[in-house]
Amino acid sequence: MQVGDLSTPALLVDAAQLEHNLTTMARALGERLRPHVKAHKCTALARRQAKAGSAGFTCATVREVEGMAARGLGDDLLLANEVLDATRLGRLEARVTVAVDSEATILAAAEGGVREVLIDVDVGLPRCGCAPEDAPRLARLARARGLTVRGVMGYEGHAMAVPDRALRAELTEQAMSVLLAAHREVGGEVISAGGTGTYDLNPWASEIQAGSYALMDTAYARLDLPFRPALSILATVISVSPRGHAVLDCGLKALGMDHGKPEIAGGHEVLLVSDEHITFLPAGRVRVGERLRVLPAHVDPTVAYHERMHLVDGERVIDTWEVDLRGW
């Protein structure tokens, strides 16, 4: 099948760019890489990451853990998120570790039949994570409930997208000093942290939870990273106005918009995004029926809108992968 045969909008993954990204990250981190599947929600892509050398994966939802386990990718799944109902996790034939940051989430893990946990520590990002000084108490509580505490987790998300590399490194070091102090009290072999933006600035974590590096987006592309944009949305010009603008059949329901408007390859200027349309100012002459590539600002919520992604080599569609980890 050729790219021209696809109906639009269609999610495209450039096979060579993806391969470059997977290889580059695997070379940099080796077994320290625990890829985060939330960025692509696709077990076929996760299988490529496994082939590139990763045994364990990071998930953000129970559905992602279930889907990975169902496809035989359950050797070591970390749900890097808090849950109050862990019964679906406890049922899985897979090694599942879940993040906990409170008595309630520890009890939920134990009652749900989960056996292993990480103590999630607040290292600066205002989100989940216990106060660092509370980590030892929670570890004791978890052990008293029969749970194995594998170690700690602390996501330095506030450092992740900082453009200045030196400042990003400084924020990462500060965050990790907090996490390492908690780890000394908690014990265990795992210190889980990091992401695409800090993958080479965080030597302290025993494993790095990077996800976006595989597909990338325009927001991450602004940083000084060796990963290349692999994701685009194929769209068709459905209208060209004598007023000067033109319209693509790709809109809010095909794009994560929290990081702002997408870009269009070829230097066209995006004016307006509505449910199923992008209105743009063409850089040159475009005609109705012509196809363009839209580059999303944020990969994760973009992929979550699509049922499938097409792996392409130039104009050839090599494979079509189901985005099978969507929902909750």
Instruction: Please tell me whether residue 137 binds a second copy under the rule CB under 8 A.
Output: no
* CA-based torsion, 63, 68, 74, 77: positive or negative: negative
Cα–Cα nearest to 311, from 9, 18, 4:
18
Q: How far is the CB of 269 from a second copy (least distance, A)?
A: 12
Q: Which of 16, 84, 144, 265 binds a second copy (CB under 8 A)?
A: 84
Stretch that binds a second copy, among 12-20, 44-52, 67-75, 99-107 (CB under 8 A): 99-107
- How far is it, in rounded angstroms, from Cα 11 to Cα 53? 26
Cα–Cα nearest to 302, from 270, 260, 272, 257:
257
Q: How far is the CB of 160 from a second copy (least distance, A)?
A: 10
Residues contacting a second copy: total by CB under 8 A? 60
Instruction: Please tell me whether residue 284 binds a second copy under the rule CB under 8 A.
Output: no
- How far is it, in rounded angstroms, from Cα 99 to Cα 36? 14
- Token pair 């490194």: residue: 169
Write each residue from 58 to 77 as x if it is in contact with a second copy (CB under 8 A), else as -, in one continuous string.
--xxx---------------
Q: Of 151 and 211, which CB lies nearer to a second copy in the complex structure?
A: 211
Stretch that binds a second copy, among 49-57, 145-153, 201-209, 241-249 (CB under 8 A): 241-249
**Strand ranges, E, within the chain:** 10-14, 57-59, 77-79, 96-100, 116-120, 148-153, 190-193, 207-208, 231-240, 246-248, 263-264, 269-274, 277-281, 291-295, 308-313, 316-322
Binders of a second copy among 140-199, rule CB under 8 A?
Answer: 157
Q: Which of 3, 136, 304, 320 binds a second copy (CB under 8 A)?
A: 304
Instruction: Please tell me whether residue 109 binds a second copy under the rule CB under 8 A.
Output: no
* CA-based torsion, 297, 299, 304, 310: positive or negative: positive
- The strands making up 96-100's β-sheet, listed across from edge to edge, are 57-59, 77-79, 96-100, 116-120, 148-153, 190-193, 207-208
Q: Which of 181, 200, 245, 322 binds a second copy (CB under 8 A)?
A: 245
- Token pair 């068709």: residue: 236
Looking at the DSSP bridge assignments, the partners of residue 274 are 277
Q: How far is the CB of 51 from a second copy (least distance, A)?
A: 25
Whole-angstrom CA distances from 85 to 127, 146, 239 are: 19, 17, 49
Q: Which of 247, 264, 286, 295 binds a second copy (CB under 8 A)?
A: 247
Q: Which of 38, 168, 268, 293 binds a second copy (CB under 8 A)?
A: 38
Instruction: Please tell me whether residue 129 binds a second copy under the rule CB under 8 A.
Output: yes
Residues forming contacts to a second copy in the complex (CB under 8 A) are: 7-9, 38, 60-62, 81-85, 101-102, 104-105, 122, 126-129, 131, 134, 157, 236, 238-243, 245, 247, 249, 252-254, 256-258, 271-277, 279, 287-289, 298, 300-301, 304-307, 327-328
